[in-house]
Amino acid sequence: MEIAAKVFWSYAHADNEREHGRILRLADLVRAEYEMLTGATIEIFTDRAEIAWGDDFRQKLEQALQETAFFIPVLTPTYFLRDECRKEMSQFVRSASDLGLQQLLLSIHYIPVADLTEQSADELKAVAASMEHEPWSAMRLLDEDSAEHRRSVNRLATRLVDLTMRLESGGGEVAPSGALGPPKGELRENVDEVQSPTATLRPVVVPSDIENTITVEPGRQPKPEEEPPGLIDLVADAQPAMAAWATTVSDLTPVTERFNQKVQATTHRMNQVNSGPDAFARKILAARELAADVEPELGELERLSKDYSAGLIRIDSTIRAVYELVALSDPEDVAEGKAVLNGSLAELISNSKVAMRSLEGAADAARENAKLSRDLRPVLRRYETAVRNMVDASSIIEEWESLDKE
């Protein structure tokens, strides 16, 4: 059969096991129904090994998107707790947005997810809330052979048929190019310390005159100025983008340190009352006071985490533009140009890996520490969300490692 489109079926493997395979069977049902409706088929990738994760993932993904590839995340509470699922969604959303193909994103609301709103502090939840979606929380409770369940499968397959035809005919509306939207420090075992999550990160320095040092081969000119935005335009944006991101990185450190000091002071206070007759009550009071006391730092951290993500997304465009400009230069200058860029990026990539390990540990520890106090739980969950947002965004830095190989 003709393959009309591709589907990347994103799900948490634990959910499929709990459902005794229903999530994967749903993918098979949608594929079969699509074939019934069109005589063609959709190639559905249901495992990360099939998606060919690796250094060339972004290139393969963008090619697949251009060929018409749908990203269907099966959303559950567990989905947003799995790092691999979050990374998967982040990369698909960013790639689709860069190509102006947001209509290829269609989620399945398989289980109700708390805080799945466009105003969520968790950026991926906010993105997922803005996607087109199919409700499925009632369908998952029905027999798969029931008429209602079959009608719902038909509705989902029909939506994919309609979207495919609209896109291929050029009749689909294309949303503006963008990224994740408006747009993570280590908590110790007993909530006694938070380290700065960005102490080792430094901005990349892109030579300000790089567009003047590249000789473009005849017949391979960059896009004209009237086509927004061209490579030269993006490179020109590099310096202010780097400066803005550097300011955000700088501002994150004192905010995290103030949060850390307040947590340490409260922990010390709790330890002092351990032997007292009213120790439990005094600890509860201390936790409540801390929750109120760190509100300014939490609010600022949430804002800065969004700026951090947005800044990296903006820088990502300029870095890729610079590499493309280098590739357009005279062959003799390509190696030298890449060497300059690689040297500039090397320290950031190395330091970011160290920082990300700390950030991921911080988010995991925050989740564990949220069990210690009902009053501290909302505080630490907000902290974890801000950390997770930065971890998600920092996957962009990892992708830069493969740019010199393209």
Greater pLDDT, 238 or 121: 121
Q: What is the reported pLDDT for 68?
A: 62
Residue 212 predicted with pLDDT over 60:
no
Q: What is the reported pLDDT for 181?
A: 38
Residue 211 predicted with pLDDT over 50:
no
Give percent of the chain with pLDDT exceeding 70: 69
Residue 185 predicted with pLDDT over 70:
no
What tens digit of pLDDT does each residue of 216-269 get? 344 444 444 445 455 566 666 667 887 888 888 888 888 888 887 888 888 788
Tell me which amino acid residue 300 is.
E
Backbone phi, then psi, for 169, in 5-degree steps? -90, -5
Residue 193 predicted with pLDDT over 80:
no
| Averaged pLDDT for residues 302-316 | 87
Coil, helix or strand at residue 220: coil
Q: What is the reported pLDDT for 49?
A: 56
Residue 95 CA from chain centroid, whole number? 11
Tell me which amino acid residue 89 is.
M
Q: What is the reported pLDDT for 183?
A: 34
Asked which of 33-47, 155-169, 230-244 is least confident by mean pLDDT, the reply is: 230-244
Residue 206 predicted with pLDDT over 50:
no
Greater pLDDT, 102 or 387: 387
Give percent of the chain with pLDDT exceeding 90: 23
Q: Which residues contact 177 (CB under 8 A, 6 or more apart)?
A: 97, 98, 99, 100
Predicted confidence band of residue 210 (pLDDT cuts 50, 70, 90): very low
Coil, helix or strand at residue 207: coil
User: What one-character-per-residue DSSP string does 38-77 give?
Assistant: HSSEEEEE-STTTTT-STTHHHHHHHHHHT-EEEEEEE-T
Strand partners, 165: none
How many whole angstroms separate alpha carbon 246 and alpha carbon 8? Answer: 35
Greater pLDDT, 396 or 78: 78
Predicted confidence band of residue 51 (pLDDT cuts 50, 70, 90): low
| pTM flag (> 0.75) | no
Residue 56 predicted with pLDDT over 70:
no
Cβ atoms of 116 and 155 closer than 8 Å: no
CATH number (3.40.50.10140, 3.20.20.140, 3.30.930.10, 1.10.150.110) of 3-168 reads 3.40.50.10140
Question: 41-45 and 3-10: which strand pairing?
Answer: parallel
Greater pLDDT, 311 or 143: 143
Q: What is the reported pLDDT for 370?
A: 67
Cβ atoms of 94 and 180 closer than 8 Å: yes
| Averaged pLDDT for residues 59-72 | 69
Predicted confidence band of residue 337 (pLDDT cuts 50, 70, 90): low
How many whole angstroms separate alpha carbon 231 and alpha carbon 330? Answer: 16
Q: What is the reported pLDDT for 209?
A: 47
**What counts of helices (H) and strands (E) characterise the chain?**
13, 5
Can you give 81-102 as a three-state secondary structure string?
A: HCHHHHHHHHHHHHHHHHCCCH
Q: What is the reported pLDDT for 259?
A: 84
Predicted confidence band of residue 381 (pLDDT cuts 50, 70, 90): confident
Q: What is the reported pLDDT for 217?
A: 42
Q: What is the reported pLDDT for 18?
A: 96
Greater pLDDT, 247 or 177: 247
First to last CA, the chain: 33
